[in-house]
């Protein structure tokens, strides 16, 4: 799966989780907590939505700081 496709899918998930936020300026260096304002609940929702959309389960307890880290993880673990 191409990285741009994964990135667009991730933005769609973020929009569903936080519909009031403008994600048009989100890039790979955006930090989940500082820049996107995600808290522990929204990160949990993000994780569940990613698992459902991309058909895998997170192994262990990965700690993501940036969008790039999430994209890298999805790209390495998806078979879609």
In the structure, how many helices (H) and strands (E) does the chain have? 3, 0
Q: What does the radius of gyration of the chain's CA atoms come to, in whole angstroms?
A: 12
DSSP 50: H
Residue 67 has pLDDT above 70, yes or no: yes
pLDDT for the residue numbered 80: 60
pLDDT for the residue numbered 22: 87
- Please write the tens of the pLDDT for every residue from 5-50: 999 999 999 999 999 988 889 999 999 999 999 999 999 999 999 9
Q: Considering the entire predicted model, what is its pTM?
A: 0.89
Task: Determine the topology of domain 3-20+28-77 in CATH.
Answer: 1.10.1200
How far is residue 2's CA from residue 60's CA, in Å, rounded to a whole number?
25
- The pLDDT confidence band at residue 68, using thresholds 50, 70 and 90, is very high
- All structural domains of the chain with their residue ranges: 3-20+28-77
């Amino acid at each position: 799966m191409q990285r741009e496709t994964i990135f667009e899918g991730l933005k769609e998930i973020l929009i569903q989780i936080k519909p009031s936020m403008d994600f048009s300026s989100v890039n790979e260096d955006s930090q989940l907590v500082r820049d996107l304002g995600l808290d522990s609940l929204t990160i949990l929702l993000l994780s569940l939505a990613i698992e459902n959309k991309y058909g895998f389960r997170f192994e262990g307890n990965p700690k993501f700081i940036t969008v790039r880290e999430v994209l890298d993880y999805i790209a390495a673990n998806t078979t879609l």
